[in-house]
A = this chain, B = another copy of it.
């Protein structure tokens, strides 16, 4: 059996009881280690908690065949641990399909991921549109396909969850060129950098998918003991220090009800200013008021 087990967001004890019981049965345990990190626990703490050796699985191991992971999984129990949920931000459908082709049974044990826990900022999950990813811009690579997606969401009044880039086990171009397996320290995008990139592309395009005054919610260390939220305009958040990673951002859409706004105001530095920003922003992409059809006279 191959168990795909979500670890939740932060604590070792965020694993479900069923997930933990399953790990105990496994002869090998892998931790997916390239799309996210568990914030309040180290690898050693996980190993102690599970009473098992935990092998780190990097992108290469998972995407190039998964042979090592699936080895003997038709006869033994193997666990593949994923921070958040196994089908959260990154799906592991490929691993499941490969397992099924080898007649290996698969059991998924779900957990919270940023995709649903983001609801704790107070905005209804119902009103989120498509999710976008923001990657680190480089001098020569400034991908902005997310821009149109935010625009599409906002045109129909929806919020956008922006997931921020993390780089683990990254090689410098020099080391890569020389074939040296030396890795750079991990990097996590901050909310301020994300907002700067948002503003840069908006300035470049000038089509007002959002503006510097568009309200947003900065989410820091979601699910961790030091979790915090900050409501502000994109411009305000671009100057804001939100502390340790991981960070995410929600760009508001028009559909923000009174109760949701009341909740967001708790996280605003200047409540009145934020409320004003929301009211103004709600005017964008507002549908035309309904006009009764002109009745034709007989």
Residue numbers of A with Cβ under 8 A of B are: 6, 8-9, 11, 13-18, 20-21, 85-89, 91, 93-94, 96-97, 100, 108-113, 115-117, 119-120, 122, 124-133, 152, 156, 158, 223, 259-260, 262-263, 266
- Asked if A87 and B16 sit within 8 Å, CB to CB, the answer is no
Chain B proximity of A187: nearest CB distance (Å): 22
Given A9-B110, A266-B100: A130 in contact with B116 (beta carbons within 8 A): no
Q: How far is the CA of A83 from the CA of B128 in the complex (A)?
A: 21
Contacts of A133 in B (CB 8 A): 126
- Asked if B125 and A117 sit within 8 Å, CB to CB, the answer is no
Contacts of A93 in B (CB 8 A): 122, 259-260, 263
- Asked if B158 and A129 sit within 8 Å, CB to CB, the answer is yes
- Asked if B128 and A130 sit within 8 Å, CB to CB, the answer is yes
Chain B proximity of A83: nearest CB distance (Å): 13
- Asked if A87 and B17 sit within 8 Å, CB to CB, the answer is no
Contacts of A260 in B (CB 8 A): 93
- Asked if A111 and B112 sit within 8 Å, CB to CB, the answer is yes
12 A-B residue pairs with CB within 8 Å: A8-B111, A11-B18, A16-B17, A16-B111, A17-B20, A86-B120, A87-B117, A93-B263, A97-B259, A111-B111, A111-B112, A115-B119
Q: How far is the CA of A9 from the CA of B87 in the complex (A)?
A: 15
- Asked if A125 and B16 sit within 8 Å, CB to CB, the answer is no
Closest to A262 in B: B97
- Asked if B131 and A126 sit within 8 Å, CB to CB, the answer is yes
Chain B proximity of A122: nearest CB distance (Å): 5
Chain B proximity of A288: nearest CB distance (Å): 14
Given A14-B16, A17-B17, A116-B113: A125 in contact with B88 (beta carbons within 8 A): yes
Contacts of A126 in B (CB 8 A): 89, 130-133
Closest to A120 in B: B87
Of B20, B94, B110, B113, which is within 8 A of A223 by CB?
B110
- Asked if B8 and A16 sit within 8 Å, CB to CB, the answer is yes
- Asked if A108 and B87 sit within 8 Å, CB to CB, the answer is no
Chain B proximity of A287: nearest CB distance (Å): 10
- Asked if B13 and A263 sit within 8 Å, CB to CB, the answer is no
Given A8-B110, A111-B16, A223-B110: A119 in contact with B156 (beta carbons within 8 A): no
Contacts of A110 in B (CB 8 A): 8-9, 14, 112, 116-117, 120, 223
Contacts of A263 in B (CB 8 A): 93, 96-97
Chain B proximity of A252: nearest CB distance (Å): 14
Closest to A152 in B: B156
Closest to A9 in B: B110
